[in-house]
Amino acid sequence: MTKLNIELTGHDLVETKSDLAEAAKMKYLTKENTVFLETEGHMLTVHVDGEIYPAVFLHCSFPHMNNRIFISVRTGENEEIGMIKSLDEFPSDTVTLLEEHIHLRYFAPEITKINKINEEFGYSYWDTETRSGTCYFTVRSGRGNVTVVTANRVLVTDVDGNRFIIKDLNDLTEKEYRMVEMLMA
């Protein structure tokens, strides 16, 4: 689809064509055009077609379902540099580095046991066991802070933005399930 733009240059009107498909082109990052490195300060750096981006961040399109595909690489100003279709297209040392940075960004301890959830004044107070140890946190009621991600997986976001995962609702006891069910969006 081609669209016409009218630009004013000096005193003359100039008609220019712009292609919508051109504007929507995505730059894919591959092992052929991209090199990822980690700085001494553990920041991720990327070299793309000879251009260096000193600090970049990875944003997964599907962080809690499949964090190995469609990963956006962005600057600190949130400008997209390009998209990784799949980690499997990169060498193993690069995959290890990228997985570490993805894990840091999307760290979400798995809740293995729910000891108690108390609700009061629009908040729920969770007492849980996770794979990372005992954890107490507060969740604001409503606003999708206890969200069903897949048929059996639940993402819980606390008031500080920390995320927790219940990998499989079927693994909960009936009592634990009832406590969570009342809070699910």
Confidence band for 166, pLDDT divided at 50, 70 and 90 = very high
Q: Higher model confidence: residue 1 or residue 42?
A: 42
Same domain, 51 and 77: yes
Phi (first) and psi of residue 133, to 5 degrees: 115, -175
pLDDT tens, 91-123? 999 999 999 999 888 888 999 999 999 999 999
CB neighbour class for 126 (10 Å; exposed up to 12, middle 13-18, buried from 19): buried
Phi (first) and psi of residue 64, to 5 degrees: -110, 10
Please state, for a pLDDT cut of 70, what percent of the chain lies above it: 86
Same domain, 71 and 122: no
The residues, ordered by sequence, that sit 6+ positions from 100 with a Cβ below 8 Å of its Cβ are: none
> Among all chains, which residue has been given the structure tokens 């609702």?
169
**Where would I find the H helices in the chain?**
20-23, 92-105, 174-181
Residue finishing a domain among 105, 132, 156:
105
Residues 116 and 138: their CA atoms lie apart, in Å, by: 12
Q: Is pLDDT of 12 > 90?
A: no
Q: Which two tokens stand for residue 138?
A: 């507060």
pLDDT tens, 24-37? 678 899 999 999 99
CB neighbour class for 69 (10 Å; exposed up to 12, middle 13-18, buried from 19): middle
* Domain count of the fold of the chain: 2
Same domain, 33 and 101: yes
Residue finishing a domain among 105, 122, 148:
105
Q: What is the pTM of this model?
A: 0.63
Q: Label residues 33-51 b or e (16+ Cβ within 10 Å = b).
A: ebebeeeeeeebebebeee
Residues 148 and 164: their CA atoms lie apart, in Å, by: 12
Same domain, 90 and 120: no
Residues 181 and 50: their CA atoms lie apart, in Å, by: 51
